[in-house]
Amino acid sequence: MAMPNGCPKDVSVKGTQFSPDPGEEILMNRHILIYQAAQDGVRMEPENPHRKSFSLRLRSSSAPENAIVCSLGTSSPPASERFRHLQHSAMAVQPRRIRGAVLLGLCLCSIWTFSAQQAFTKTEVIEETDVSTGVKLVAEHPLLFSFLSMALCGALCCTENSATPRQGNAEDRADYNSFLMIQNILCFASGIVNALTIIDMGMTVSHQSGNTSHTGRLIMNGGAKFGHLLASFCFGSFFAGFSKSDCEAIYSGRYSPNLLAATIAVVLGCTVHYCKEHGGAGNDNTSECLLLFAFSQGIQNGITRRCLSLPICTTHFTGYLTDVGTGFGAWARATMNGEKPPTLLKVLLFFAGTLFFLLGGVAAKELHGPYNMQGALVAAGLMGAISAGLVPVVKVKKTSP
């Protein structure tokens, strides 16, 4: 079929050049049209019979001035097809809008984060402080310093001069109230030291039952650190026994060299901890300061255990809990049988000591935050006050055994 006269073979439709042959399918406005040559001009017949006529100016690519108005037919799809076409177009546009919104949000977040950091973040400048020679010396030789400290404290213990006779049973003492008070203060101090070592280094220094078990179960795999604490505690008790510590001095308001030695051991333990923290490798569950803390607790408990009125424990309370239970049980049995019940003063002594050790743990929790292990200096202050006879007590006459 020949092309009509005056109709160009190369035409441009909406900027797209093509040279269609009769019957060729052309994609236009998403509808397939068939180019046909007719006597009355150039037409594009749609496959869909529903169409409406419109005029399109076709221009020759070689002679743009020669323009021919051709009658074209385009499909007029049903309403359902038009709806699907619009829905498809909207769906095609929606992802672009979402991506644009997300990108804009990320940009805004980045700008806000940068400005917030500039406005609110203040760079900390950590200045390296010079560590004194003494701190470096202790930090480099903590074990040697600990041994020398123990020797010094042991020498102080040996200056003890014990000459106080027995004052009777604990529940019958005329100074029972001050006796109870001194015990409670020492239990409180021991609770502080022990709880601080647990919080800071995960080790106990005042009671050794757990350390004994750990030494056994880890005998070939790291149990030595627990064994060292056992030995240090026992070493402190050794000096209390070797020096014949005056067990009544602390209850009578007199000077006690042994308790002063225990106080100094706590202070020196804090010194080792501080020096290692600021001039050494830090402190863990093998820190040498633990040896001095255990040593001090051994001296203190060695003093109170030698009390002739009643072996007093101020550092461990398994026995105290046992005595509370058995004493209260005996009292309950005598009361139920109509017998004269035993006094509960001894039970009160045991219960009060356990309670004050617990309160020492509460105090340690509050002290460790702001003061770290140096919070044990509070315990050292209490121990030092008792060792110097600064705590007021009830004075009683000496009696012969």
Mean of pLDDT over the chain: 78
pLDDT per position as a tens digit, 188-241: 999 999 999 999 999 999 999 999 999 999 988 888 999 999 999 999 999 999
For residues 28-37, give the mean pLDDT.
Answer: 42
pLDDT per position as a tens digit, 138-181: 999 999 999 999 999 999 999 988 766 677 888 889 889 999 99
Asked if pLDDT for residue 347 goes beyond 90, the answer is yes
Asked if pLDDT for residue 117 goes beyond 50, the answer is no
Q: In whole angstroms, what is the distance from residue 94 CA to residue 83 CA?
A: 16
Give the residue, 44 or 335, on which the prediction is more confident.
335
Tokens for 200, please give them.
């800071």
According to the model, what pLDDT value does residue 34 have?
42
Asked if pLDDT for residue 56 goes beyond 70, the answer is no
